[in-house]
Chains A and B, each alone.
Chain A
Amino acid sequence: MKKIIGIFLAMVLMASCRNKEQLGPDLKVTITQPLAVNTPAVDFAGGGKIFFTAAFENPTAWTITLTGANDAKKYITGVSKEINEANSSWTGTSDVLPSFASGSVTAELTFQVDPAKESVPFTITNKRVSDKPSDALVSNFVVNKRYYMSGPPPGGFKIGYTGPRGWPSDYPNISNTDMVYAQPDGDSYLIMSGIPWDNGTGNGITAYVNYLTIMADNSDFQYGQYFPLNSDPSNVYFNVMVLGTNTPYTWLQANIFEESSSGDVVTRTINLRPSWTGWKLLSYKYSDLAAGSAANSQKITGVQFVLLSDSPTLPGPEVKVGIDHVTFTNNAPYQP
């Protein structure tokens, strides 16, 4: 009996003699080396990167928030005693739209609970090139050279059709720039707005406001009949930056046209109700859009945006939405 009790006591003693370290990161931070940046200027277009350094007395949960002059934001987080190249390198990507532009950036170091903070400035000499050579840009609404058409061609959409398409868009063939909102990509973007109207078909006022169609051969880069994309639809992503304008009942429909094996047009539809205010990047795996049928990502011919209102009483108030940087990417969603 004494031996057994002795074993118990020995176990407890051994347990309590183990080296004990504090659990979790420090709530009260002690900075032993202030925040610094490895270079005052960085050229992301040339493949450059930047990193930060700092040190703390104990493991600390930290966040570095990078904010561009255009309000672009990037967050780098970690739990460590040191901030160094291994845990804080940055290549110019953005977590919150818009994309980082060339110019000044502020890096601010903050902590989970402790209100202490430090900051350091630096400059982007050349912004990151976000579009990869393999991406298929539909439009970034920057280049004032395309003739955007709204409405179907006479007799409906047909693959290979190159003639005039319906009537000119209510949205002119120049980009709308609204300086009320930060620009998510480049200097301009597209605003669609309006109220539902009676189109004279005898149905009275419907939810429809307007729409915009961009075919592959009429997009920014004038691809051929189809956008050049990966053959595996699960490796293809449709990306669009959408501006929510705090206008209730705004309903944006994105239709992606795909040529079926029989030559008909198959439409893949995304319905959006922008309930947010500001810009959001939305990315969709193309195979996820093809409910009930096999998608063919190499037969995508065009993209259409339809603005509608889901106001319970029509016409209801004005609905309004912004669109920018519509692009297909291969292998991964678009990274601004």
Chain B
Amino acid sequence: MIITKKNIDTMSKKFILLFFVLVSGHAVFAQDNDKVKFGAYGRALQQNTTLGEENDTLHADNVSKGHVLVDLGININPDKRTEVQAIIRMRSDIGGFYTAGSALQLRQLYIKGLIGKYFSYQVGDLYLQMSPYTFYNNNAEGSINEGRIFADFRRDYTNYENLSNKGNYWWQQGATTNFALAFKESKIDSMRVDAFFVRNRPNNYLSGAPAALFHAGGRVTLTSTDKMKLIGNYVNLFEIGKTADIDSVISNPVTSLQLDYTLWNNESTALRVVGEGGYSQLIFKGYETRASKDGSFGEGAVKLNLKPANLLISAGYSYVDPQFYSSAAQSKRVNFANIPSTFPNVGNDPLAAPRTANIFDLVKDTAVYNQRIVSQLMAYDPTLNNSQAYGKATPNRQGVNLDLQYKDSAQKVMANVNAAYLTEIVGVGTSEKRNFLVLKAGADFHIHKFINWKKKLIITTGVRHETTKRGGDPIQSVDLTSTLIDLGLEVEVVNRLDVLVGTKFLTATGNEFITLHNKYNDVSFSNANTANISVNQSLLAAGLKYRFSANTYLTVQDHIFAYTDGNNSVRNYSFNQFLIMFNMNF
């Protein structure tokens, strides 16, 4: 059957009906008692994507895919101190017949509870986060205060499917425990201890026969009155060679100390000093010729809260050693080495490499997302983030940053401006060092509050501008400029029915040497990775969203994406995607 917008609509209506059947069935079961409770997340999604005809007569130009799924959460409390939660996924691909493409899977499972009065524990699937230098899932590129039409889809589909929908937490499997103590008549008011031990997803870059990879660590948090908080962090990613009968293994311990001290806090102003410093090692056990790579980092900032002006000002300095490696802070949420699932090959050259992820994929394609924590620095796209491709923990960076946050008391306007100037600590491939200037700004305007309109009218804006420069011989010099703009509009035209509009524009021009890292994080280059860049990407989207409740909605959208390469028009391509999604969470 040829998929058209019309019959997609028809198909999706059928699946939405199926949802209502499932939901009403659920309502029968959801007669919660004290010991067993149910919750569910459901989604019906149909996407129909058409490839623009420019420069491509080789590949299929229409892809249609969709699914219906329900994640049924079962929460069991066998006693007051124990909780068991299982999420069972029932999924059916639209277009699968007689159970083809259908699956029943256990998506998540954990047991948590309390031992005695003080020790809590959780075993199974869990989410972990520590500081940005030790254990932190950095946000994906390609977004700067993006509009609702993109943010909803990213949250409810892309991040949800990638198990990265809990802020900057990494999804892991293992065990965690914590306990807290309170002290009287002491300089320390309380102490909390957290510890974890997780089995990392298998992906060993040092051996063809991967050894079991584990992550262990913890943190101790000391609080003194409400003025000071001191946190000690320790994490270690390590292999156990005997699990694969190999002698050479990797270990990556990272230690840090965090401080948050309030100098004063009165009715008009508050001033805090925050900072973190630490040390890492990347150890190659069994590699006689390879010494460990050791690095340190430090950052400090002062945060001034001007309360009458609703303004928070932060100024800081950071230093990250060229050999600082922290696997769980540097692993990327997006794996730019992955091939996008939507039209991976475009153009008429049958030998051309598959395309890389663009701003369309970053919003919509789970295939380019990553769940693994790895010790090797992953591939990145310098047009999206060249200065801090691995977040704050990006090695070989030092510099200053200034951040302003404003939110008026009526929350009519919320704005954030950030400026950073960073330099490399050592040159890469030359004694010359790159310098980076990054300007970011985002603002939400709740127009309906200005005009006293009862319905919503919200405009979101965001811009990220980055320049990278390096001097020296023409062979060594770098000059790259990129700008990402995000605009969004959300208008409630009738009760609960929103019109959503969003755009993204990315322009990048100049040149850059894309650094390659091998499994030991040694740096290399190749001519093929010396990029002369002249790229424009645009994503325009418009749609309707009907909110049944706060967490349940139906949306119909159309997205138009275009990629233009100023250096080679043969590489130009475009997509048009129509989608309908019913999303439910209760």
Contact = CB atoms under 8 A, between A and B. Distances in A.
B475 A27 contact: yes
Contact of B298 (A15, A21, A22, A61): A15
Contacts of B298: 8, 11-12, 15
A28 B277 contact: no
B426 A23 contact: yes
Contacts of B277: 7-8, 11-12, 15
A288 interface: no
Contacts of B270: none
A239 B585 CA distance: 59
A294 interface: no
Contact of A28 (B278, B295, B473): B473
A333 interface: no
A22 B431 CA distance: 6
A66 B538 CA distance: 47
Nearest to A116: B475
A16 interface: yes
Given A27-B475, A112-B526, A114-B475, A15 B426 contact: no
Interface string B510-530: 000101000000111111001
A18 interface: yes
Contact of B228 (A1, A12, A18): A1
- Chain B's interface size range is 35 or more
A4 interface: yes
B480 to A, nearest CB: 15
A79 interface: yes
B296 interface: yes
B261 interface: yes
B524 A22 contact: no
Interface residues of A, number: 26
Contacts of B425: 16, 20
A25 interface: yes
Contact of B476 (A4, A5, A27, A61): A27
A61 B524 contact: yes
A190 B322 CA distance: 57
A112 B527 contact: yes
B556 interface: no
Interface string B206-232: 000000000000000000000010100
A25 B475 contact: no
Interface in A17-39: 18, 20-28
B296 A26 contact: no
A23 B429 contact: yes
A44 to B, nearest CB: 29
A21 B429 CA distance: 10
A16 B426 contact: no
A113 interface: yes
Contacts of B257: 7-8
Instruction: Choose among A7, A15, A26, A113 the residue with the greatest number of B CB atoms under 10 Å from its CB.
Output: A15
Given A1-B228, A8-B300, A12-B277, A22 B525 contact: no
A12 B527 CA distance: 36
A12 B475 CA distance: 33
A28 B530 CA distance: 14
A7 B473 CA distance: 41
A28 B228 contact: no
A175 B396 CA distance: 62
B517 to A, nearest CB: 10
Contacts of A180: none
A22 B257 CA distance: 28
Contacts of A21: 426
B426 A8 contact: no
A1 B526 CA distance: 49
Instruction: Choose among A24, A26, A79 the residue with the greatest number of B CB atoms under 10 Å from its CB.
Output: A24
A1 B261 contact: yes
B444 interface: no
Contacts of B427: 22-23
A4 B430 CA distance: 37
A14 interface: yes
Contacts of B193: none
Contact of B321 (A18, A27, A79, A112): A18
Nearest to B317: A12
B61 to A, nearest CB: 22
Contacts of B380: none
B72 to A, nearest CB: 41
A28 B475 contact: yes
A24 B319 contact: no
Contact of B515 (A12, A24, A79): A24
Contact of A79 (B296, B396, B524): B524
Given A8-B259, A113-B475, A113-B513, A24 B525 contact: yes
Interface of A: 1, 4-5, 7-9, 11-12, 14-16, 18, 20-28, 61, 79, 112-114
13 contacts: A1-B228, A5-B259, A11-B278, A14-B296, A15-B295, A22-B430, A23-B428, A24-B429, A27-B475, A28-B476, A112-B527, A113-B475, A113-B527
Given A8-B277, A15-B319, A25-B525, 13 more contacts: A4-B259, A5-B275, A7-B257, A12-B300, A18-B321, A23-B322, A23-B426, A23-B429, A24-B515, A24-B523, A26-B429, A79-B524, A113-B513
